[in-house]
Amino acid sequence: MEESLHNLRHSCAHLLAAAVMDLYPHAKRTIGPPIENGFYYDFDFGDTVLSENDLPKIEKRMRQLVKEWKGFERKELTVGEAKDLFAGNEFKHELIDEFAGEDKTLTAYTSGHFTDLCRGGHCENPSRELQHFKLLSIAGAYWRGDEKNKMLTRIYGTCFVTKDELDAHLYMLEEAKKRDHRKLGKELDLFTFSDLVGSGLPLWTPRGTIMRLLLDAYVWELRQERGYDRVEIPHITKKDLYEVSGHWQKFSDQLFRITTREGHEFAMKPMNCPHHTQIYDRKEWSYRELPQRYANTTMCYRDEQTGELHGLSRVRSFTQDDAHVFCRQSQVEEEFLKVWDIIDIFYKAVGFNELSVRLSLHDPDNVEAYLGDARLWNDAENALRNIAKHRGANYVEQIGEAAFYGPKVDFMTKDSIGREWQVATIQLDINMPERFDLTCVNEEGSDERIVMIHAAIMGSIERFMSILIEHHAGAFPTWVAPVQVQLIPVSTDKHLDGARVLLHELRAVGIRAELDAADETVGKKIRRAATLKIPYGLVIGDKELGGDELTVRVRGQEEQTGMTRKVFIERVLEEIRGRR
C-alpha cells in the first residue's frame, strides 16, 4: 500500500474511533490499523451488542465530526501521562507498558476533540481528504489475536482518495457477495460442513468430488508427460521426522498431536515434503539417475484457530497436489521451467489467462524465522532471479514472503472482479537436503549435496476451488463442470423413456449428463438447471423424440437453438477435449 493511502486509511480509523467514543462513551478502544483495501478498529463495548444496523449511525457521526478536523497534532507523553489519558482502559495500558519497555517514545495525536495513542502517519487535511469512506461490517476478534484473551468487536471500513475508486470497490464487494464460494457451494451442491464432523473439515459431495478429481487428473497428466512418478505416504509421522526437518519448531502451534498407548508422540502431517525426503533417502543414487520426481495428492492437517476458518479458503484439513524434485544444482533451472510450463498450461485451461510472478525472498532483518545461513539464501535467491530472467518474466520481489526453508516463485492472478490471488508456487529448498543429508554419487565417485524443488500447481485444492468457484461465479468451463448436460423432459408420462435413451447415449461417449425426472413444469426444470449453472440443457418433447434435431439451451443465453444430435454431441466433446 502506498504511503499516502496508508495514511488516509489510518486517519479514517481515528475518525471511526472518535465517532464510536462519541456515541458509546463507555466503550474501550484498542487498536485501529490500516489494512489492504481499508481499515478496522477493535472495541470493547462491555454489555452493549452492536450489529451492522448500527453502522449507518456511526458513519453519519464520522461525517459530522470530520468537518472540524483540520489536521493531526502530535504530542510526546510520559508513561504516567499516557495512562492518565486512557484511565480505565487496560488494553491501552498494556500497549503503553509494552512500548515503554522497548524504550519507544510514546506519542498521541489529536484531531478535533479526539486524541489517540499513535505512532503517526496521517493525512494532512482530514476535513478535505476524508470524504470517500464507508463502514462495511462487524466481526469478533480476540485481543492481540489470542483466543485466550477477551473477544472484542471489530468494525471494518474502507476509504479511498476519490469517489470513483470507492464506488468501484463497493461494486466489487457486492459482486464478491454474489460469488461467495460458501453460498455457491451450497447452491451447486459441491461441498458441505457438518457440526458433528467439525469446523474447517469440508465434506465433498459427488458433484464437488468430480471437479476435484478432474482438476487433479489434469495436473497429473501434465506432470506425467514431464517424467514424474506417483508416490504415497501416511497421514501421521513420528515427532522425530519433523524435528529433523525443522517443522516441529516452526509449526508447533499448528500441529495436531497424537500420543500412542505406548507413549510415542506422533503428528498429523501439516505438509508432505519431509516424508518425500525419506522416499528419496531409501537408497544411494547415482547422478545419472537424477532428477527423481515424486508427485503426491494427499490430505494435510493444521490446527487453525476457529476464528480464522473461512469456508474452503481456510480449513483444518486440506489436500495438496504436491510434488518434489530431487536434483543436482545444475538441473534446477530446467526442472523449474518444466513446472512453470505446467502452471501456464493448467491455469489457461481453468480460465486464468494471465499470471504475474512474485519472487518471495527471506527477510534479512528477521533471520531467526528461517533455516540456513546467509550464503545459502543469497545463492538460492540469485538462482531464482536468473531463472525468472531467462524465462523473460516480469517479476516483483517480495521480502519476507519466503518459506522458512527456501525462496520461492509465486504465481499471482486476478479473478473476474479484479481481486488478486496467489495460486501456484515453485520453491527452491536449500535446507532440507542439508538437514536430511541427501546426496547423490557424482562423476568422481564422491557424495554430492543435491537440492530439492517443491512444486504445487493448485496448492491447497480446497483453497483453489474457492477461488475457481468465485472467479466463474459457479459457471465453470464445460470440461470441468460436474454436470455438462441436463435433460429436461416436457412430460414425465410421455417423454421420460425417450430422454433416458438419450441420457445413455450421451454418457456412453463420455459426456456427464443428468436427467431431471421430477414431475414438475418445464419452466421450473429449466430454472433449476440455470441455478445449477449447467452448460447445456436439452428440452425433450414430441418434436425431439420424433426427429434428429435437439432443442438446446446454452447457459447464459435466453434463446433456445436447434442442433442435430451429432452436431450437439461433437460440440460438447470438442469443449471437453479442448478443455474449454
344 falls within a domain: yes
Catalytic hit among 83, 118, 275, 320:
320
180 falls within a domain: no
**575 three-state secondary structure:** helix
Q: Sorting pLDDT into bands at 50, 70 and 90, what band is 36?
A: confident
> Identity (one letter) of the amino acid at 247?
H
Give the pLDDT confidence score for residue 1 in this predicted structure.
54
> Quick one: 320 and 461 in the same domain?
yes
> Quick one: 311 and 454 in the same domain?
yes
Q: Is the pLDDT of residue 369 over 90?
A: no
322 is catalytic: yes
What CATH number is associated with residue 454? 3.30.930.10
pLDDT digits (tens, 9 = 90+) for 197-253: 999 999 999 999 999 999 999 999 999 999 999 999 999 999 999 999 988 887 788
Residue pair 135/157 in contact (Cβ under 8 Å)? The answer is yes
Catalytic hit among 276, 316, 408, 463:
408
Give the pLDDT confidence score for residue 368 in this predicted structure.
80
pLDDT, mean over the chain = 93
pLDDT digits (tens, 9 = 90+) for 69-87: 999 999 999 999 999 999 9
122 is catalytic: no
Pick the closest to residue 563 from 580, 545, 538, 534 (CA basis): 538
CA distances 92 to 34, 44, 236, 329, Å, are: 18, 12, 43, 52
Which residues lie below 8 Å from residue 547, measured CB to CB, with a gap of 6+? none
Query: What does the pLDDT average to over 396-403?
Result: 88
CA distances 496 to 118, 489, 503, 534, 541, Å, are: 71, 6, 10, 20, 9
179 falls within a domain: no
357 falls within a domain: yes
- Could you tell me the three cell numbers for 160? 479511498
> Quick one: 459 and 489 in the same domain?
no
pLDDT digits (tens, 9 = 90+) for 319-348: 999 999 999 999 999 999 999 999 999 999
> Quick one: 215 and 299 in the same domain?
yes
- Could you tell me the three cell numbers for 521? 413444469
> Quick one: 449 and 491 in the same domain?
no
Residue pair 435/246 in contact (Cβ under 8 Å)? The answer is yes
Q: Which domain-ending residue is among 471, 486, 511?
A: 471
Annotated binding site: 273, 324, 454
Q: How far apart are the C-alpha atoms of 35 and 570, rounded to whole Å?
A: 50
> Quick one: 314 and 444 in the same domain?
yes
> Quick one: 165 and 235 in the same domain?
no
Query: What does the pLDDT average to over 464-477?
Result: 96
Query: What does the pLDDT average to over 466-484?
Result: 97
Q: Which domain-ending residue is among 471, 503, 535?
A: 471
Q: Is the pLDDT of residue 127 over 90?
A: yes
Alpha helices in 297-373 (DSSP H): 332-349
548 falls within a domain: yes
Query: What does the pLDDT average to over 45-65?
Result: 95
How many domains are contained in the chain? 3
Query: What does the pLDDT average to over 24-31?
Result: 96
CA distances 81 to 93, 95, 106, 137, 372, Å, are: 11, 14, 10, 34, 45
Give the pLDDT confidence score for residue 363 in this predicted structure.
87
162 falls within a domain: yes
- Could you tell me the three cell numbers for 74? 502530535
Give the pLDDT confidence score for residue 70 in this predicted structure.
92
Q: Sorting pLDDT into bands at 50, 70 and 90, what band is 546?
A: confident
Instruction: Among 255-259, 364-368, 376-380, name the most confident range.
Output: 255-259
- Could you tell me the three cell numbers for 440? 547423490
Structural domain of 48: 3-174
300 is catalytic: no
**405 three-state secondary structure:** coil
Owner of C-alpha cell 516424508: 275
**62 three-state secondary structure:** helix
DSSP for 239-254 reads HHHHHHHSHHHHSGGG
> Quick one: 447 and 302 in the same domain?
yes
Catalytic hit among 454, 495, 512, 553:
454
**What percent of the chain has pLDDT above 90?**
82
Q: Which domain-ending residue is among 115, 148, 174?
A: 174
119 is catalytic: no
> Quick one: 548 and 518 in the same domain?
yes
Catalytic hit among 181, 207, 247, 302:
302
**199 three-state secondary structure:** coil
DSSP for 505-534 reads HHHHTT--EEE---SS-HHHHHHHHHHTT-
Pick the closest to residue 574 from 474, 472, 478 (CA basis): 478
Checking DSSP bridges between strand 536-540 and strand 513-515, what pairing results, if any? unpaired
Residue pair 184/469 in contact (Cβ under 8 Å)? The answer is yes
Q: How far apart are the C-alpha atoms of 556 and 326, rounded to whole Å?
A: 47
359 falls within a domain: yes
Give the pLDDT confidence score for residue 418 in this predicted structure.
86
Pick the closest to residue 457 from 175, 226, 267, 255 (CA basis): 226
Checking DSSP bridges between strand 395-399 and strand 356-361, what pairing results, if any? parallel
184 falls within a domain: no
Residue 261, phi then psi, degrees to nearest 5: -60, -25
Q: How far apart are the C-alpha atoms of 441 and 286, rounded to whole Å?
A: 5
Q: Which residue has the higher pLDDT, 143 or 36?
A: 143
Q: Is the pLDDT of residue 305 over 90?
A: no
Catalytic hit among 123, 159, 273, 327:
273
324 is catalytic: yes
Q: How many C-beta atoms lie closer than 10 Å to residue 283's C-beta?
A: 7
320 is catalytic: yes
> Quick one: 220 and 368 in the same domain?
yes
Residue pair 387/334 in contact (Cβ under 8 Å)? The answer is no
> Quick one: 485 and 467 in the same domain?
no
Pick the closest to residue 294 from 374, 237, 227 (CA basis): 227
Annotated binding site for Zn(2+): 273, 324, 454
169 is catalytic: no
Radius of gyration, CA atoms only, the chain: 29
Query: Is the preceding omega at residue 291 within 30 degrees of 0, hence cis?
Result: yes
